[in-house]
Amino acid sequence: MIRLSHLAILASTFLTILSANQVTAATLNGEEPIVIGHRGASGYRPEHTLASYELAIDMGADYIEPDLVSTKDGVLVARHENEISETTDVATRPEFADYQTTKTIDGVEVTGWFTEDFTLEELKTLKATERIPDIRSESATYNGMYEVPTLQEIIDLTEQKSLETGRTIGIYPETKHPTYFDSIGLSLEEPLVATLEANDLNDADDMVFVQSFEVGNLQYLNTLTDVPLVQLYDEATVQPYDFVASGSDLTYGDLLTPEGLTEVAEYADGIGPWKRLIIPAETVDLNEDGEPDDLNGDGEISDADRVLQDVTTLIDDAHAAGLLVHSYTFRSEDYFLAPDYEGNPELEYEQIFALGVDGVFSDNPDVAVAVRDRVSEPIPEPTTLLGLSIVPFFQWLRRRQAKR
Ligand SMILES: [Ca+2]
Ligand SMILES: [Ca+2]
Ligand SMILES: [Ca+2]
Ligand SMILES: [Ca+2]
């Protein structure tokens, strides 16, 4: 014990020197920004599979991000949506043909197959598929190989990989459509907290963030758990769905103002804004035909045709309210990149890290980690022989501390 506290004192002396660089100085806590493997390493494997999460960890992601929905028997599983025809082979399975139905989810009519109509046992017979095979054809070659994982299986994976890699791997679960799941008697928060508790992951210093696009369920979670909570933000004109359901007029835009952020800081520890709320991008009409220009000539208007605009003050405003900023979603394909980056996804990470973001949700964690490590490189002091040999030790120690 004496030895440990001694080390901590020694370390703190050096930490100031080692973190004296532009990127870490601009983050809320002066720590390196974290890389969150968005749905795993979903640029390379069908999303929300153990294979996708494991690859993200192997690529150096600090956290992996499962989106959580419920089965009929109340088990939390990872799918981007409760409607699963885009991410599993369910539509090809005759035994489940009569499970196809139409429902209204958050005010939108959706036809397909829904996790809440399947028992875990039934769901486990399905195989995951690539959601956007036209853009991610390589990932689609893994179709049919993996199951839909439960939250517990994902936690087990992080524990196994933490032992294997010597890094503590975090989880960053998202509760999906909490108002909807409440309405069908399958509330998400209680089983989530029970699972965290059962795995001794329910304390403020555990490597867990819980995120949601809704507000009320985060406020409720704040009464159930000490793990940090993150308010996700959609476009400014959109309303959190629980606000729609309760008849409130408030939008994400209202939660973006300094006053709104102060309110969010009452229950949340961070915000997860769409990156365009930090670095806006707009289509252009240079040929003045009244239509947005198809800048890359692929016949459709996508992020590749939206030109970057002046950055907003959101990161500074959130930091002023004491909130971490973890922004989404960073993707390497040209289809998703603003033309300003000229096909080089590293430039986008460099830009957002220089603005002081505290973390990024990335479909390509290998690229995110490479840039993060490069731009967070500490100034190489101390330069004595002793100093040189202990620098990696203090880097390791600082990383450990950053993850607490
Ligand atoms: Ca998510
Ligand atoms: Ca609930
Ligand atoms: Ca035009
Ligand atoms: Ca285009």
Q: Give the pTM.
A: 0.89
What's the 253 CA to ligand 3 centre distance in angstroms? 29
pLDDT of the residue at 3: 45
Return the closest-CA partner of residue 327 out of 306, 307, 356.
356
pLDDT of the residue at 23: 79
- Alpha-carbon dihedral 384, 387, 392, 394, rounded to 10 degrees: -150
Q: What is the mean pLDDT of each run of 10 residues along the chain (404 residues)?
A: 41 39 85 97 98 98 98 98 98 98 98 98 98 98 98 98 98 98 98 98 97 98 98 98 98 98 98 98 96 95 97 98 98 96 97 97 98 82 52 61 56
What's the 73 CA to ligand 1 centre distance in angstroms? 22
Q: Any idea which ligand is nearest the CA of 290? A: 3
What's the 382 CA to ligand 1 centre distance in angstroms? 41
SS3 content of the chain, % helix, strand, coil (to 5): 40, 15, 45
Neighbours of ion ligand 4 (CB under 5 A): 294, 296, 298, 305
Q: How many CB atoms lie within 10 A of CB 383?
A: 9
Helices (H), 107-240: 120-123, 137-140, 151-165, 178-183, 189-198, 216-224
What's the 38 CA to ligand 1 centre distance in angstroms? 7
pLDDT of the residue at 22: 73
Answer yes or no: are the C-beta atoms of 284 and 293 closer than 8 Å: yes
What's the 291 CA to ligand 3 centre distance in angstroms? 4
Q: Any idea which ligand is nearest the CA of 183? A: 2
Going from N- to C-terminal start, the domains of the chain cover 21-377
Answer yes or no: are the C-beta atoms of 171 and 63 closer than 8 Å: yes
- Superfamily of structural domain 21-377: Phosphatidylinositol (PI) phosphodiesterase (3.20.20.190)
Q: How many whole angstroms separate alpha carbon 265 and alpha carbon 262?
A: 5
Residues 6+ apart with CB under 8 A from 141: none
Return the closest-CA partner of residue 15 out of 403, 404, 402.
402
Q: If you ran DSSP here, which 8-state letter would residue 127 be given?
A: -
pLDDT of the residue at 252: 98
**Parallel, antiparallel or unpaired: strands 170-171 and 63-65:** parallel
**Parallel, antiparallel or unpaired: strands 359-362 and 210-212:** unpaired
- Alpha-carbon dihedral 389, 394, 396, 399, rounded to 10 degrees: -160
